[in-house]
Chain A
Amino acid sequence: MAQRKEGAREKATAGKAGGAIGAVMVVGGGVGGIQASLELANLGYKVYLIDSSPSLGGVMGMLDKTFPTNECSMCILSPKMVEVASNQNIEVITLADVISVEGQAGNFTVRLRIRPRYVDTEKCTGCGDCTAKCPSKVPDPYNAGLSKTRCIRVPFPQAVPGAAVIDPEACLWLTKEKCGNCLKVCQADAIDFDQKEREETLRVGAVIAAPGYKPFDASRKTEYGYGVLGNVLTSLEFERILGANGPTQGRVVRPTDGEEVEKLAFIQCVGSRDTTVGNGYCSSVCCMYATKQALIAIEHLPYIQPTIFFIDMRAYGKDFERYYNQASSRHGVRYVRGLISGIRERQRTKNPLLRYLDEEGCMHEEEFDLVVLSIGLEAPTGLAEGLELEANDYGFAQADSFLPVLSSRDGIFVCGAAGEPKDIPDTVTQATAAAGLASQQLHRARGSMLTHMEYPSERDVSGEEPRVGAVICRCGSNIGGFVDVPAVVDYARELPGVVFAEERLYACSQDAQEWIRQVVEEHGLNRLVVASCTPRTHQPLFRETLQSAGINKYLFEMANIREHCSWVHMREPELATRKAKYLVKMAVEKARRLEPLEEGESGVIPRALVIGGGVTGMNAALGLAGSGFQVYLVEKEDELGGLARNIHFSHDGEDVQDYLVGLVDRVEFEELITVFTSHRVRDVGGFVGQFKTLIADDEGHEAMLEHGAVIVATGGLQYQPTEYLFGEDPRVITQWDLERRLAEEDASLRDLERVVMIQCVGSREEERPYCSKVCCAEAVKNALALKEQAPDTEVYVLYRDVRTYGFREDLYREARERGVAFLRFEEELRPDVRGLWGDLQVRVPDANLGGETVVFNTDLVVLSTGILANPDNAELAPMLKVPRNADGFFLEAHMKLRPVDFATDGVFVCGLAHAPKSIEESVAQAAAAAARAESILSRGKIVTEGVVAVVDPERCSGCRVCVDLCPFKAVDFDEENRVAVVNSSLCKGCGTCTAACTTGASRLQGFRSDQIFEQIEAAASAWWD
């Protein structure tokens, strides 16, 4: 097995000979699939994104907030969905399932079954008129069935495609040939009852499986009465209740009587860590999502008192421990250790009743208003049937030990929860990694299947009087039903500069774009205003239309008369019409003053610098080399290998040193990689695409490297303990020491009668308030290995919470099965290790026995020491202009969706430099960082936005406020001229510098002061009209 997968890995990095197809199918439109698709399109591949539901979004699209930052889930996902929808190289195929995948890596033939939508997505504008008239009510799947929707509907407001769908089982026309209301009201003529289920065949070079997971069916745990008791919900349902776009608009109320919830309970591990339902694994995310839901509930209603009943609090990820500590100490979330056995109910109030023992062993029977079951994650369907992937005992995709995105089938990659339960950042990391690995196999076919838009050359409009065209959209009845559109058109026609004004039923439809192009030509327009919906989703479309008519796309302005007007003023049509008029006037006034903007270009040096030559850095380097890019690999020590030199075997029995030797060989053999051992980075200059880095060896010999991207893989350190007699008594050692002796099959281990392991040494304490993530699995792994070599040796593991997340839980169970004993202690009551007349004695209050002290002698104490941030990070961070967190690890651009990026373009992070994590997680992150870097290196040039800031050197006082404020580090200070300079390659056009500039020297293109002032003037004057 391992052998075969080793082979798959070789192939993945070795690349594919000619004849590969430059297209990839991504299965699953959740955050993993979306991420993989965007990465692949960026890397130059055609993408078919398949989802079995009618819209992209997956589970993340149903979430209210995300942990540990409490950010709005949809707000961060929706822009990605829009990006997918507007990317011409990503074809979204919804309501589709994979029948079969035949062929081999580089050349697959995929057969799809596509169910009918009964709505033409090209024609449907998502106006909602059909839904309003549909008589057939169905439970709304988007709200987990907690509310009703209509049989024909857009699945949710941000859905992609944003077209309606008909539920064939509930449709009166399809079931009884009655009704047909939607046919009658649809002004876009989009309803199509003639659609039939059909098959489609795709040819792709690789497949990325991101089907996500299946939520555990809570009714299987009958003791919790889900479906029987009125006020017991699943966590997914509760997520919808918390959602502002959910069935209760975010009011935390309970189902039976709609009363606001005060006492709220969460029961953990429902369907996880439970062999009786066949799910022996830990679902990895529930401890944190319950904490998040408790916090958000308090945010909604400050008097809510949440209680979380749990076994082990698994706050193992980056910043999770802090989140958990603050929830408990600062926000009043009550954590009670112990699982609830069953739920009873008071009949008059329908209040759930929970019985539990407190820490003192006293029994309580407490009434709650609502109980939330933290349901686990189960394997998705379709892995074995359609994709023919091997699955593990739980049905999740069987994956490579060192690189879990490699599936059992060459050319098919797995990311996200389909391989093992995981959270969003790990899913995004794997999705990016999968895209990168697919690219390594297909890079010779890069770009071969892309569609490039050819635009006519731009007409020079300088010197022309502004000739504004105004298009007012009815949006079906969305705008037209409330705003007097003809009146707005008449009003617009009279505005200064407007030479053309007309209305459109749907300004965004395909035929409308063609019409706009003609109008621009016929009327010689040089400015365009569209008054319709939000620029967030539609500005790119209209800009492109304008560009295709030969006009600079920045000569476009949009007025949002739907979200900002008709939708919020439905009851006051006259006032709405008046507001629509002045919104149009504002847009016209701005449009008159718009100037064409240029998009800059800068070159890219197609080489990368990888800092750190551990397993992570080497994998990142090999990944880029696998796609044909040159890499400089800089390592401060005199040999490659990093921390992994201390790890001898993985928990599934793989030989890590073997792997490491193979890796070093491949790096040294790889011609595209230049290794600099005993070198440190001294200085970094330049910016994305064109970095200049000075490195030097110990003797001060320097070298200047030029490269387009940087990958930071500086690794971490092991905590050096001073506690528990370490360093004083030779019988107190670390896990690394033990692991080395196990690897050497040290015979003296067999003479040990008893070994004690102590967890959380240097972790989860005041000085280092984070979890080191790997120590629990490491202890369990070594305990098992010890039991293997010395079956009669007693092993005691002293722990605070056992954090064997995911399939590591199987190891924990195996260790218990093999007789390893686990003893829990409290943070304040730590074990006491002392030497006593030659004996090594451990005294520890057993928290599960009410704090009764257990005293025993031992032959060996093994400390599970934590992971520390590399102190070199402090030096590197300012050179790279990137931040670190409070624990000294690098801080990524976005905790959820950009886990390997920095806000600074062209710089990426992976491995222990980012946070403590396991080898396989580091390797996946390395592959992701390599893919992100590849997306820059493969581009050839970097096109910069037209909307960027510029500094007028004449007016700049050199105060440097903007230099410090810029979140993207795009403003430099020119020491010679003592003025600020904006690097347009890095500028994102956010306007922070412009707003902060005291002298008016900083100017944001497209948002000049005079343009803004005229808009304000227009708003005011229109109001007085």
Chain B
Amino acid sequence: MINSLCSSLEKEVEERSGEKVRLCYQCGKCSNGCLFNFAMDILPHQVMKLVQYGQKERLLRSHTIWLCAACETCTARCPNDIDVARVMDTLRQMALEEGVKPSERIIPLFHRCFLGNIKVTGRISEPILMGSYKTLSGDLFTDMELALEMLKKGKIKLLPSVIKNRRELRRIFKETRP
């Protein structure tokens, strides 16, 4: 049951993303086309509706915003030209900024490790990324055999490739911090 409506979330999403969620006429094309819909707790077209209704907490706590894999099929096919994937990005960013405890613990953690890796070396290095991700997630053994196989095939380089101008890199991360 939804017993309070407010329009501030819609405005916030528009300010941040430039997307007018209110244009949605609930054709459901985004949800029908989403390859991840089976795992979502709120379907994309319902996300559009709940943004309009101002159901912020429910959205920021949802699995959906983290399960969206950003394939942008929804965006490409929306007849109202709403960038649905960008709205998902925006909700994720709001969830992080507001410190909402995510329903999908691991996924934001992975993003943190990924960006942490870039921040240090400027390019992704599997040992650094996997090291930090495995440690933080506490899931040490998943994909271990796979990792060994990849190492054997030369698909994982032990020495990272590091960019020269790391000062610029630090500045990028400092300046873009929300």
Q: List residues of chain A with CB under 8 Å of any chain B CB.
A: 223, 269, 273-276, 311-312, 337-342, 355-357, 361, 363, 794, 802, 812-813, 816-817, 819, 821-822, 824, 846, 848-850, 852-856
Contact = CB atoms under 8 A, between A and B. Distances in A.
Contacts, number: 104
B22 A355 contact: no
Given A342-B77, A819-B7, A363 B29 contact: no
B23 A849 contact: no
Nearest to B74: A341
Interface stretch (B78-86, B92-100, B117-125, B160-168): B78-86
A383 B81 CA distance: 29
A361 to B, nearest CB: 6
A822 B27 contact: no
B110 interface: no
Given A363-B38, A852-B2, A357 B49 contact: no
Given A357-B43, A849-B49, A855-B2, A276 B79 contact: yes
B22 A816 contact: yes
A337 B1 contact: no
Nearest to A809: B25
Given A357-B31, A856-B5, A275 B25 contact: no
A852 B46 CA distance: 11
5 contacts: A342-B33, A342-B77, A794-B7, A824-B26, A853-B2
Chain B, interface residues (CB within 8 Å), range: 35 or more
A342 B46 CA distance: 20
B1 A269 contact: no
Interface in B1-41: 1-5, 7, 10, 20, 22-34, 37-38
Given A276-B78, A856-B3, A856-B5, A357 B25 contact: no
Contacts of B20: 817
B25 A812 contact: yes
A339 B1 contact: no
A339 B23 contact: no
Nearest to A821: B52
B79 to A, nearest CB: 4
B32 A341 contact: yes
B27 A269 contact: yes
B73 interface: yes
Nearest to A338: B28
A817 B22 contact: yes
Contacts of A816: 22-25
A813 to B, nearest CB: 7
A817 B3 contact: no
A338 B27 CA distance: 5
Interface string B49-85: 1101100000000000000000001101111110000
Contacts of B25: 273, 311-312, 802, 812-813, 816, 822
B99 to A, nearest CB: 27
Nearest to B29: A339
Interface in B144-177: none
Nearest to B50: A849
B49 A848 contact: yes
Contacts of B37: 357, 363
Contacts of B29: 338-341
Nearest to B26: A848
A337 B33 contact: no
Nearest to B24: A816
Contacts of B23: 813, 816-817
Interface of B: 1-5, 7, 10, 20, 22-34, 37-38, 43, 45-46, 49-50, 52-53, 73-74, 76-81
Given A273-B79, A363-B38, A341 B2 contact: no
A813 B31 CA distance: 21
Contact of B33 (A355, A794, A812): A355
Contacts of B28: 311, 337-339, 357
Nearest to B52: A821
Most A CB atoms within 10 A — which of B2, B5, B24, B26?
Answer: B26
A355 B79 contact: no
A998 B32 CA distance: 65
Contacts of B5: 794, 854, 856
B32 A821 contact: no
A276 B1 contact: no
A312 B26 CA distance: 9
Contacts of B10: 819
Contacts of B1: 852-855
Given A361-B43, A816-B25, 15 more contacts: A269-B27, A311-B25, A338-B28, A338-B32, A339-B32, A341-B74, A341-B77, A355-B33, A816-B22, A819-B22, A824-B26, A848-B26, A848-B45, A849-B46, A854-B5
Nearest to A818: B22
B5 to A, nearest CB: 5
B81 A275 contact: yes
Nearest to A812: B25
A341 to B, nearest CB: 2
A223 B77 contact: yes
Contact of A274 (B2, B76, B79): B79
Contacts of B45: 848
B56 to A, nearest CB: 16
Nearest to B5: A856
B32 A357 contact: yes
Contacts of B26: 311, 822, 824, 848
Contact of A276 (B3, B53, B73, B81): B81
Which one of B24, B34, B49 has the greatest number of beta carbons of chain A within 10 Å? B49
A311 B27 contact: yes
B165 to A, nearest CB: 41
A802 B25 CA distance: 9
Contacts of B30: 341
A794 B1 CA distance: 20
A572 B2 CA distance: 78
A341 B35 CA distance: 11
Contacts of B3: 854-856
A854 B32 contact: no
A843 to B, nearest CB: 9
A342 B10 CA distance: 28
A852 B41 CA distance: 14
A7 B10 CA distance: 45
Nearest to A337: B28
A275 B2 contact: no
A816 B52 CA distance: 11
A174 B77 CA distance: 46
A251 B76 CA distance: 37
Contacts of B22: 816-817, 819, 821
A337 B25 CA distance: 12
A856 B25 CA distance: 21
Nearest to B6: A794
A468 B151 CA distance: 105
Nearest to B10: A819
B20 to A, nearest CB: 7
B26 to A, nearest CB: 5
Nearest to B53: A854
A819 B5 CA distance: 13
A802 B26 CA distance: 11
A672 B73 CA distance: 65
A360 to B, nearest CB: 11
Contacts of A276: 78-79, 81
A340 B73 CA distance: 12
B2 A854 contact: yes
A359 to B, nearest CB: 11
A846 B49 contact: yes
A847 to B, nearest CB: 9
Given A269-B27, A361-B43, A822-B25, A341 B73 contact: yes
Contacts of A342: 33, 73, 77
B53 to A, nearest CB: 7
A821 B2 CA distance: 15
Contacts of B81: 275-276
Contacts of B24: 816
A341 B29 CA distance: 5
